[in-house]
């Protein structure tokens, strides 16, 4: 059975991040993608020039319409932007007993803030809704009001601290660590599982967080166990980054190649 995966996130007109990246990642990994849009952005590979938040009631209406008609097998939550939208999404998902992956989108790759500072507490309160959260190191530091982790040991400390806030599991992304490696850390009820990986020397990493969380939600929607789903999602993103040079999109942080396995001559 093809799982139906719902993405709740903002729109990126350049196609590399947000809803557009989510739909690509879900589809590339064998899911049927659905979307409830929380924000419209004006952005490209070089930065964000405008954000228009969607009315919280209309965000809720999108989710309600889908739930009234279509089976939802997993949910990915991305950019929420404001406390009222966070509250609307949390209420709209009440009673849904499927994997929920929360990517706490707070700052874009370009450095533009996508979550209002006053909404951080509301996002923190939403963590218990999630089966897995997928913060990067700056986002983890923001959620915990701590300095950003700079070592694997600090990553482990912060992953445990995030787990204590109520999420079912934490996939803490280590891409901001210095060095040639790019380790991620999965904190779950059985302990800590490191997911090692090499760092690719490229600027084509726009939307990697959106892509990873959507792939993870899709693999969980397929019924894979958490650790296997996390490893599969990380491997998919690594291949998408490695094959990104096949694309010529923009002059800044270019997108990953979501459909690398389907384009002739660009197989990993």
Residue 264 class from Cβ within 10 Å (0-12 exposed, 13-18 middle, 19+ buried)?
A: exposed
Residue 142's CB: how many other CB atoms inside 10 A?
20
Q: Which of 170, 83, 176, 185 is nearest to 138 (CA)?
A: 176
Residue 110 backbone phi and psi in degrees, to 5: -75, -10
Residue 101's CB: how many other CB atoms inside 10 A?
31
Instruction: Identify the H or E element spanning 133.
Output: strand 132-133
Instruction: Cite the active site residues.
Output: 173, 205, 207-210
Catalogue the long-range contacts made by 196-203 (C-beta closer than 8 Å, 24 or more residues apart): 197/234, 197/238, 198/238, 199/175, 200/238, 200/241, 200/242, 202/241, 202/244, 202/245, 203/252, 203/253, 203/254
- Cα(77)–Cα(22) distance, rounded to whole angstroms? 10
Instruction: Identify the H or E element spanning 4.
Output: strand 4-11
């Amino acid at each position: 059975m093809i799982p139906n995966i719902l993405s709740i996130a903002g729109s990126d007109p350049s196609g590399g991040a947000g809803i557009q990246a989510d739909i690509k990642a879900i589809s590339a990994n064998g899911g049927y993608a659905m979307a409830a849009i929380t924000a419209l952005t004006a952005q490209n590979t070089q930065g964000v020039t405008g954000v228009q938040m969607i009315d919280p009631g209309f965000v809720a209406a999108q989710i309600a319409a889908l739930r009234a008609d279509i089976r939802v097998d997993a949910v990915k939550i991305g950019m929420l932007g404001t406390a009222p939208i966070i509250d609307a999404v949390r209420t709209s998902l009440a009673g849904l007993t499927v994997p929920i992956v929360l990517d706490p989108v707070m700052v874009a790759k370009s450095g533009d803030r996508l979550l209002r500072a006053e909404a951080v507490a509301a996002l923190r309160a939403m963590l218990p809704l999630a089966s897995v959260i997928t913060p990067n190191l700056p986002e983890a530091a923001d959620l915990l009001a701590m300095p950003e982790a700079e070592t694997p040991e600090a990553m482990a400390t912060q992953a445990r601290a995030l787990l204590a806030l109520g999420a079912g599991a934490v996939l803490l992304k280590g891409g901001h660590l210095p060095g040639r490696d790019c380790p991620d850390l999965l904190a779950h009820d059985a302990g800590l599982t490191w997911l090692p990986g090499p760092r690719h020397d490229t600027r084509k990493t726009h939307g990697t967080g959106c892509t990873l969380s959507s792939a993870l939600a899709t693999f969980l929607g397929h019924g894979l166990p958490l650790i296997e789903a996390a490893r599969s999602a990380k491997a998919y993103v690594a291949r998408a980054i490695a094959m990104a040079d096949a694309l010529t999109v923009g002059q800044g942080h270019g997108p990953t190649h979501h459909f690398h396995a389907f384009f002739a001559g660009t197989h990993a």
